[in-house]
Amino acid sequence: PAAWAELSRTFGRLPLSETLEPAIRYAEEGYPVSPTAAGNWNSAFRRYSTALTGTEFKPWFDLFAPNGRAPEAGEVWRSPDHANTLRLIGSSEAEEFYRGVLADTISECILRSGGFLTKEDLAGYRPEWVEPISVSYRGYDVWEIPPNGQGLIALIALNMLKGYPVSSQESPEAYHRQIEAMKLAFADGSRYITDPSRMSCDPYAFLTEEYAEQRRRLIGSEALWPEAGEPRGSGTVYLATADGEGNMVSFIQSNYTGFGSGLVVPGTGISLQNRGLEFSLDDTHANRLEPGKRTYHTIIPGFLTKNSQAIGAFGVMGGYMQPQGHVQVAMNLIDYGLHPQAALDAPRWQWVKGKTVMVEPHFPMHMARRLERMGHEVQVAADFSSFGRGQIIWRDEKTGVLCGGSDARTDGFVAGW
């Protein structure tokens, strides 16, 4: 909420209270649950029903499953508590969330549930403006948020891949190089990415031409076995917007793993996030648990510019799939010149761990077999749920016309007016 208020003050033309009105109206009057959301909602219901016990999780069921089940697709769901909370946030420019009665309610809930976040912690928070990081890729600049986000991983991979000539989209060697570059980038990211004030090296040290060439030399004709963490799920929302004046926004936020921690603050509609999941209890790990520290996190909005002009806002939700999706979508746009919708619809691969690569059901099987002969352990997924969900807005460099794409793997859409 502090980020909403900060963005509204800096770039907005309307007060935050007015921009939140449509969301408040949906919360009060109800919103028909979309199909993908309904499926994920039901998965969370089953998980919480079997894995979580104790009265501290009763507010989640009261709010999100009031009829003893998750809502079905097309069913109208209402949450007056959400509406009241959004009104408080809007009228106070988010102050209520951090230094008001709402903050007291949040901290009391956390302490009652055995957590450690106090109202002093909330009161001490301020949103932070950061300098994005980028690499030049075939005439475009690809931008990401710096650590502690994993956008650095996408840039490391692209920096390696730009050293190869553009090859056919149907080339198994091209897929192989993309997968290997992503594995090497994840190995770096899992070891070094943490709170930027506690990183042992400068993020830009990973983005030099010398380092890219050093890592590129490790990519041979067979699959590698790098060390890196195993991907997890997500609970992320991404949106992109642009206007006729040249403004573009690439925005992302997340509760992580669906509904976050499963802890709901009674009477507020707030489901508390669990972004602390990436902390480690290993004292030698870069993300060891420490006071006031921000751990590695997966949420990364992406952006493209050319000659310092905004060209495209893009993003792919989905935990550790995000940098993999960024690389694949960026290459589809830049290397292959695909329409934004086609760039999102193209079949995706996902490195999982070791030599294991998962591919979507519509991924070309002859390509999968070629990858297997290169040493990859290819698994065909039963559905699309783990391959990310993305959106793109692309500005035509000659005409200035805006063109959008929304991933068929989720419930999003493109709207223009």
Catalytic residues: 236
**Alpha carbons 315 and 343: distance in angstroms, whole number:** 12
With beta carbons less than 8 A apart as the criterion, state whether 79 and 63 touch.
yes
How many beta carbons lie within 10 A of that of residue 185, not counting itself?
29
Work out whether the CA dihedral 262, 263, 264, 266 comes out positive or negative.
positive
Q: How far is CA 335 from CA 164, 167, 327, in A?
A: 11, 8, 11
**Alpha carbons 17 and 182: distance in angstroms, whole number:** 42
**Alpha carbons 318 and 390: distance in angstroms, whole number:** 9
The contacts of residue 405 (CB under 8 Å, 6+ apart) are: 339, 340, 341, 342, 343, 344, 345, 390, 391, 392, 394, 414
DSSP 284-301: TSTTB--TT----B----
Is 269 in a helix, a strand, or coil? coil
With beta carbons less than 8 A apart as the criterion, state whether 107 and 115 touch.
no
Strands 356-359 and 377-380: parallel
Q: How far is CA 64 from CA 96, 269, 271, in A?
A: 24, 9, 10
With beta carbons less than 8 A apart as the criterion, state whether 23 and 1 touch.
no
Residue 303 burial (C-beta neighbours within 10 Å; 0-12, 13-18, 19+)? buried
| Strand arrangement, sheet containing 349-353 | 349-353, 356-359, 377-380
> How far from the centroid of its chain's Cα atoms is residue 205's Cα?
24
With beta carbons less than 8 A apart as the criterion, state whether 314 and 250 touch.
yes
Is 103 in a helix, a strand, or coil? helix
3-state helix, strand, coil in the chain (%, to 5): 40, 20, 40
With beta carbons less than 8 A apart as the criterion, state whether 363 and 370 touch.
no
